[in-house]
Copies of this chain bind each other. A is one copy, B any other.
Amino acid sequence: MRTPDELTDLFRSTGRKVTPQRQCIFSVLYGDVTHPTAEAVHAAATAHMPTISLKTVYQTLHDLSELGEITTLDLGTGTARFDPNVDDVHHHLVCRECGKVRDLDLEFPDVRIPAGSELGFEVGSAEIVFRGRCHECAGATS
């Protein structure tokens, strides 16, 4: 994801208007590595702008996703997660207990995309999801 200032320009140049709410969301997301839910983004934004609505958060996340500035992840935790790290290909570790998501910056050369003709399926992307228990949850219970 680009910097909040660059996103301001990008929104203007793509015919979108720039509002304080949107800029607030830009700065909340910038550098965030927690893969927040829409609720979490809203909570963080509310700290700076108490009246911002959850709908506005959803709208802006949708716009950012459309522009390719963030990725929407459905990792089976019940709610969508948003990832501003779109520049590096990476995979994810998901805690089965608390739902926390961490990046895994490893490459898996084996996971080659098979040619479409051999499968009857044109493959466009491959995601690997590792599920387990995060450090905090492992420490909490025996």
By a beta-carbon cutoff of 8 Å, the part of chain A in contact with chain B is: 74, 76, 93, 95-96, 102, 104, 106, 108-111, 113-114, 116, 119-135, 138
Query: A93 with B74: in contact, given A127-B128, A128-B128 (CB under 8 Å)?
Result: no
Tell me whether B108 and A121 are in contact (CB under 8 A). Answer: no
Q: Output the least CB separation between A130 and chain B (Å).
A: 5
- Looking across the interface, which residue of chain B has its beta carbon closest to that of A100? B121
Query: A74 to B79, alpha carbons, bound, how many Å?
Result: 11
- Looking across the interface, which residue of chain B has its beta carbon closest to that of A93? B121
Neighbour of A111 across the interface among B114, B122, B128, B134, CB < 8 A: B128
- Looking across the interface, which residue of chain B has its beta carbon closest to that of A139? B120
Tell me whether B109 and A133 are in contact (CB under 8 A). Answer: no
